[in-house]
Chains A and B, each alone.
Chain A
Amino acid sequence: MASQAEAIPFRAGFLAGDLSEPASLNLAGSRCKACGIALFGQRHRCENCSSPDLDHVAFARTGTVHTYTVQRYAPPPPHSLPTAPWQPRPVAWIDLDDNGPRILAPIACAPEEVSIGMKVRAECHIGWQDAEGRPVIAYGFAPLTGDGDAA
């Protein structure tokens, strides 16, 4: 088998772990030592209080739906999503556990399954390929089902 191109994150500083094993990855970013706010993605200064005093951390994989909508139509191209035909897709603001950041993400479930307060779990996967043909690791969420499902 031909050697596979090395995977890259959708954006540097937003994922923590081994990119060759997407299932092992956590969403990542910075936590401000001054104000305590968690920020998606590794930052230069705190977006909330401008302090440069940050810890770079991996966030919890589980979280709660703060609010949601359902994309009834395909978003504007070019995107990496299947469209033939477009399947309505829930998208939510998710509060990550352990005082993590609020993140916008699609949820892999039927529109009638999603609700405010629903527990979800982050899942990373190969989303698309960049211009050099490298697999790009993206994130999404899925409903948190029974015990032993948590990270």
Chain B
Amino acid sequence: MTRAMIVGVGMTPFGRHPDTHFTQLGAQAIEEALLDANMDFRDIQQAFCSRVYLPSATGARVMEVMGRTGISCPDVEGACGAAVASLQQAVMMVEAGLVDIALAFGVEKIGKGFMPPGVLYEDWQIQMGLTQNPQYWALNAMRHMHDYGTTETQIAKVAVKAKKNGLLNPKAFFRKEMSVEEVLASPMVTDPLRLFMLCSPVDGAGAAIVVSDRIAHRYSNRPIEVAACVHRVSEYPLLNASSFCATPAGHPSVYATTARAAYEKAGLGPEDIDLAEVQDNDAFSEIEYYEELGFCAKGEGGHLIDSGATELGGRIPINTSGGLQAKGEPLGASHYGQIYEIVKQLRGEAEARQQEKARVGLAQVFGAWGHCGVSILKQGW
């Protein structure tokens, strides 16, 4: 089978872009990816756009800015997992031999403040006030602390690590170092999660150019192989995520099942992963992903952050980009921010954030209604 290779990546700085039209954000990320691949936009045979809060036909609107070459460019929506679903479409088309060059990109423009709840919740849930996104992660955190003795200090350490890495990332939104004490002194939002343990929804765009292995050398001498790109919707029950989905139906969490499918496709296991980007909407969730992605045993996530293994330079650095906590989360573009970081790391272009041994990287996203995705990238040269 044809292998899909990433030969170009681009992303805007994630953050507030009040004066930039969303089509311009999309174009900015695509232009960087084209430059990275030394490719002409007219060579692209198929595109997919992901977005969540932006309007219908966002992809086609970006084509208006980039040039109407007549190619297909549908929107792919899947809450915070939207971007992995659009990347998966591009990868599948290349692997199937239907096209040689596909563009996958995501864009979001959401502005400041509460995310409008009507996009994700039913009217009665809004009326009953059950629409604070962080409360779902808080519910998971509280149970994890009860079952495994995970502490608020361990959760705070994840936030501190994210901010430390974000300081080294010029494209991150939040760039300020912070101590465990400062995190623990920030206002409680939804117990046990405090303000500086949470990410912000932001504006931004990201893009990846996916080509067949047959022609990858034309565009890059360091192509990155997409060893796996898997998107899933969770089995019952959703309960907005969490490993405690394991009860009462007995299914593993969607994080675990998606990761397993990706490892299988890649022919790799968690022990082969050199670094990973995960959906740290909140500092606690990262601890849960350590366990569910297989980087440590169930219940050991708190000890893993204590050990320093997930710091830059550690055994399995997580969110070297600063993660969503430092970058912010542009929903439809979020996975492309992760892909950007992993590609840069695997090529040795991550500058101050460069991890010494970076040959295989994993990126994971999770979104409302059970959307989950895992991509595994490896050096393809």
- The answer for the CA separation of A104 and B191 in the assembled complex, in Å, is 16
B177-212 CB mask vs A (1 if < 8 Å, else 0) is 000000000011111110000000000000000000
Output the least CB separation between A79 and chain B (Å): 4
| Contact among B126, B130, B143, B249 with A104 in the assembled complex (CB-CB below 8 Å) | B130
| Contact among B117, B129, B187, B249 with A48 in the assembled complex (CB-CB below 8 Å) | B249
Contacts of A79 in B (CB 8 A): 126-129, 131
- The answer for the CA separation of A116 and B114 in the assembled complex, in Å, is 29
Contact of B116 with A76 in the complex, beta carbons under 8 Å: yes
A46-69 CB mask vs B (1 if < 8 Å, else 0) is 011000000000000000001111
B119-152 CB mask vs A (1 if < 8 Å, else 0) is 0001010111111100100111011001000000
- In this assembly, does A142 line the interface, its C-beta being within 8 Å of a C-beta of chain B? no
- The answer for the CA separation of A67 and B241 in the assembled complex, in Å, is 13
Contacts of A108 in B (CB 8 A): none
Taking A10-B124, A116-B142 as contacts, is the C-beta distance between A67 and B129 under 8 angstroms?
no
Contact of B236 with A71 in the complex, beta carbons under 8 Å: no
Taking A76-B117, A102-B237, A102-B239 as contacts, is the C-beta distance between A111 and B129 under 8 angstroms?
no
- The answer for the CA separation of A79 and B122 in the assembled complex, in Å, is 12
- The answer for the CA separation of A70 and B126 in the assembled complex, in Å, is 17
Contact of A69 with B142 in the complex, beta carbons under 8 Å: yes
Contacts of B122 in A (CB 8 A): 11
Taking A70-B191, A102-B248, A138-B124 as contacts, is the C-beta distance between A93 and B129 under 8 angstroms?
no
| Number of chain B interface residues as a range | 20 to 34
Contact of B129 with A69 in the complex, beta carbons under 8 Å: no
- The answer for the CA separation of A117 and B379 in the assembled complex, in Å, is 49
- In this assembly, does A146 line the interface, its C-beta being within 8 Å of a C-beta of chain B? no
- The answer for the CA separation of A35 and B135 in the assembled complex, in Å, is 30
- In this assembly, does B115 line the interface, its C-beta being within 8 Å of a C-beta of chain A? yes
Q: Which residue of B lies closest to A89 (CB)?
A: B129
Within 8 A of A (CB), among B226-258: 235-237, 239, 244, 248-249
Q: Which residue of A lies closest to B249 (CB)?
A: A48
Q: Which residue of A lies closest to B240 (CB)?
A: A104
Taking A67-B244, A68-B139, A127-B127 as contacts, is the C-beta distance between A76 and B146 under 8 angstroms?
no
Contact of B191 with A128 in the complex, beta carbons under 8 Å: no
Output the least CB separation between A9 and chain B (Å): 9
- In this assembly, does A148 line the interface, its C-beta being within 8 Å of a C-beta of chain B? no
Contact of A106 with B142 in the complex, beta carbons under 8 Å: no
Contacts of B235 in A (CB 8 A): 48
- In this assembly, does A75 line the interface, its C-beta being within 8 Å of a C-beta of chain B? yes
- The answer for the CA separation of A63 and B128 in the assembled complex, in Å, is 20
| Contact among B126, B130, B142, B189 with A68 in the assembled complex (CB-CB below 8 Å) | B142
- The answer for the CA separation of A104 and B235 in the assembled complex, in Å, is 18
Output the least CB separation between B238 and chain A (Å): 9
A106-140 CB mask vs B (1 if < 8 Å, else 0) is 10000100001000000000011000000010100
Contact of A116 with B146 in the complex, beta carbons under 8 Å: yes
- The answer for the CA separation of A73 and B135 in the assembled complex, in Å, is 11
Output the least CB separation between B49 and chain A (Å): 27
Output the least CB separation between A141 and chain B (Å): 12
Output the least CB separation between B381 and chain A (Å): 45
Other 15 A-B pairs with CB < 8 A, given A37-B249, A76-B131, A102-B237: A10-B124, A10-B127, A67-B142, A68-B191, A69-B142, A71-B129, A71-B132, A72-B188, A76-B117, A79-B127, A91-B139, A106-B128, A106-B129, A127-B127, A136-B124
Top 9 closest A-B pairs, CB basis? A67-B143, A69-B138, A48-B236, A76-B114, A75-B129, A10-B124, A70-B191, A79-B129, A47-B236
Q: Which A positions have Cβ atoms within 8 angstroms of B?
A: 10-11, 35, 37, 47-48, 66-76, 78-81, 89, 91-93, 99, 102, 104, 106, 111, 116, 127-128, 136, 138
